[in-house]
């Protein structure tokens, strides 16, 4: 895993440009080292709503404990944002949506509720605190009117309170509907009043060891192990929710043992909801799409194999594990998250992904927090700048929208005679880490309020 301090220093410029529509920014020379990417909104917004979607199925107890234990590292990075901890709402939901899909009514129950079974609407995307010392359904920690004052709705330390909230249990429905639960949480303002603020950034973070199984309706859960859908296990989610160009182009091919490759969501599935629909929904919540950030701590996407193994004392077909690690008491496993990873990839420069298969999730949580820090606007240069300084900097209006417009800024001369222009300055108060360098824009007048400063600077290899 990359160190958190250099998370945004990518190896090549091409990788940075891949997700940026209509980019015309002048090139830097990545052969000199690495390229650090900066996205700095000119209008400061310190409000961020953070929604954790936590898998509560039977294999998640160790991973939830891992998340809770390492959450202080997440908070520590947020505390390094200019001005300190932003004004946060932090909520937690589970992936249990029972037997209800995105359409129709719930199907008949499956299994025993509380032992991995599914019934009715499950937790229905309702925020939960799991007994934490919180007044209301989510953490609220915002600045007061006097310097240094924080208005909180919880008692004790932020990381400790979240640690209690993160332990949602491991008895939930084994058909995890991560994306559908996310949408329900955000659209159900009656059940979750006040969590989603219209002006705030929105971050959705998935913590899971199995892929998404968001259903259109409950027919995927039709009883019977000998029917056309095969055994009533979560493999149905893979067979009908994923397609692989190599070895799995159809549900019947997906139902055969072997290695599959070039896998993606099956957007024509008659049983599972389109991943693209959830992308459209989430982006539609904000007029500025750059205000939506997504992240996942999940299994690795490869290898993707279909195997047979003992399930319920029977040799049944199943999705092979993509990664493992030694947990606190036993071997922990995770499956390839093809659908969720595709979802994350639809948010260029606003998504990150790391594996859940590690006994210490601190690095992954720091990586996510660094992404949030960047989205809010972090002008500090995290890496060691190359000598001579080599940056490309632009003002981009209507960022990530069809009418995006870019103006390339020159580097300032000794007197900043041509403005707007950019310069690199030392500012230990604003940028206490690294070499204390900050990207500073000199202007004669303010740009439009929706403008983003987009920059690429070459840094020395580590």
Cβ count near 257 (within 10 Å): 12
Buried b (16+ CB within 10 A) or exposed e, 414-448: eebeeebbbbbeeeeebbeeeeebbbebeeeeebe
User: Is 311 strand, coil or helix?
Assistant: strand
Strand order in the sheet with 139-143: 150-152, 139-143, 87-94, 47-54, 201-207, 292-298, 351-355
Buried b (16+ CB within 10 A) or exposed e, 315-335: ebbbbbbbbebebeeeebbbb
**Mean per-residue pLDDT of the chain:** 90
Can you give the pLDDT at residue 349? 87
Mean pLDDT of 33-59: 91
Is the pLDDT at 3 greater than 50? The verdict is no
Q: Give all domains of the chain, ordered by start, each with its CATH number.
A: 4-42+379-459 (no CATH), 47-377 (3.40.50.410)
Is the pLDDT at 16 greater than 90? The verdict is no
The pairing of beta strand 323-326 with beta strand 331-334 = antiparallel
Confidence tier at 8 by pLDDT (50, 70, 90): very low
Q: Between 271 and 11, whose confidence is greater?
A: 271
Is the pLDDT at 9 greater than 90? The verdict is no
Q: How far apart are CA 127 and CA 118, in angstroms?
A: 18
Is the pLDDT at 24 greater than 80? The verdict is no
Can you give the pLDDT at residue 242? 98
Which of 252-256, 311-315, 456-460 has the least mean pLDDT? Answer: 311-315
Cβ count near 29 (within 10 Å): 11
Using CA atoms, how far residue 415 sits from 267, 297, 407, 421, 442, in Å, is 56, 47, 21, 11, 10
DSSP H helices, 34-106, are: 61-79
Can you give the pLDDT at residue 435? 87
Q: What is the 3-state secondary structure (H, E, C) of 314-379?
A: EEEEEECCCEEEECCCCEEEECCCHHHHHHHHCCCCCEEEEECCCCCCHHHHHHHHHHHHHHHHCC
Q: How far apart are CA 245 and CA 252, in angstroms?
A: 13
Can you give the pLDDT at residue 425? 94
Confidence tier at 31 by pLDDT (50, 70, 90): low
Containing 1, the helix (H) or strand (E) segment is none
Q: Between 140 and 2, whose confidence is greater?
A: 140
Find the radius of gyration of the CA atoms of the chain.
23
Is the pLDDT at 27 greater than 70? The verdict is no
Q: Are 49 and 197 in contact (CB under 8 A)?
A: yes
273-286 pLDDT, tens digit per residue, is 999 999 999 999 99
pTM of the model: 0.86
> What's the CA dihedral at 298, 90, 347, 359 to 10 degrees?
-20
Q: How far apart are CA 215 and CA 212, in angstroms?
A: 9
Q: How far apart are CA 208 and CA 185, in angstroms?
A: 17
Cβ count near 404 (within 10 Å): 16
Is the pLDDT at 93 greater than 90? The verdict is yes
Is the pLDDT at 17 greater than 50? The verdict is no
DSSP-assigned letter for residue 412: P
234-267 pLDDT, tens digit per residue, is 999 999 999 999 999 999 999 999 999 999 999 9
């Amino acid at each position: 895993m990359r160190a958190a301090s250099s998370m945004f220093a990518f190896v090549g410029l091409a990788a940075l440009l891949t997700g940026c529509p209509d980019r015309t920014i002048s090139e830097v020379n990545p052969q000199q080292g690495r390229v650090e990417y900066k996205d700095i909104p000119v209008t400061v917004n310190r409000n961020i709503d953070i929604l954790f979607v936590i898998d509560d199925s039977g294999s998640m107890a160790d991973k939830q404990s891992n998340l809770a234990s390492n959450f202080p590292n997440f908070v520590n990075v947020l505390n390094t944002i200019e001005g300190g901890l932003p004004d946060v709402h932090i909520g937690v939901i589970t992936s249990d949506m029972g037997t209800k899909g995105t359409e129709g009514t719930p199907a008949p129950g499956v299994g025993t509720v509380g032992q991995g079974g599914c019934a009715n609407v499950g937790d229905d995307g309702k925020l939960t605190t799991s007994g934490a010392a919180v007044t209301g359904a989510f953490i609220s920690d915002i600045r007061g009117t006097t310097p240094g004052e924080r208005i909180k709705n919880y008692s004790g330390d932020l990381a400790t309170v979240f640690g209690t909230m993160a332990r949602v249990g491991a008895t939930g429905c084994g058909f995890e509907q991560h994306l559908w639960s996310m949408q329900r949480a955000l659209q159900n303002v009656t059940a979750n009043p006040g969590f989603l603020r219209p002006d705030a950034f929105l971050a959705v973070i998935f913590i899971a060891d199995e892929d998404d199984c968001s259903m259109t309706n409950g027919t995927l859960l039709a009883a019977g192990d000998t029917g056309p859908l095969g055994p009533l296990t979560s493999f149905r989610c893979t067979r009908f929710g994923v397609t692989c160009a190599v070895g799995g182009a159809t549900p019947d091919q997906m139902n055969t043992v072997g290695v599959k490759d070039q896998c993606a969501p099956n957007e024509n599935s008659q049983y599972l909801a389109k991943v693209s629909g959830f992308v459209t929904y989430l982006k539609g919540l904000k007029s500025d799409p750059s205000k939506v950030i997504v992240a996942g701590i999940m299994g690795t996407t490869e290898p993707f194999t279909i195997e047979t193994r003992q399930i319920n004392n029977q040799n049944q077909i199943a999705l092979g594990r993509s990664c493992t690690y030694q947990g606190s008491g036993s071997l922990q496993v995770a499956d390839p998250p093809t659908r969720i990873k595709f979802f994350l990839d639809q948010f260029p420069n606003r998504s990150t992904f790391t594996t859940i298969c590690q006994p210490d999730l601190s690095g992954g949580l720091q990586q996510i927090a660094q992404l949030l820090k960047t989205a809010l606007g972090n002008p500090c240069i995290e890496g060691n700048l190359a000598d001579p300084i080599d940056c490309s900097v632009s003002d981009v209006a209507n960022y990530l929208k069809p009418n995006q417009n870019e103006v390339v800024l020159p580097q300032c001369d000794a007197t900043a005679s041509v403005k707007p222009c950019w310069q690199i300055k030392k500012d230990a108060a604003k940028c206490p880490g690294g070499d204390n360098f900050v990207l500073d824009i000199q202007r004669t007048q303010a740009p439009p309020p929706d403008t983003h400063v987009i920059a690429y600077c070459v840094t020395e290899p580590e």
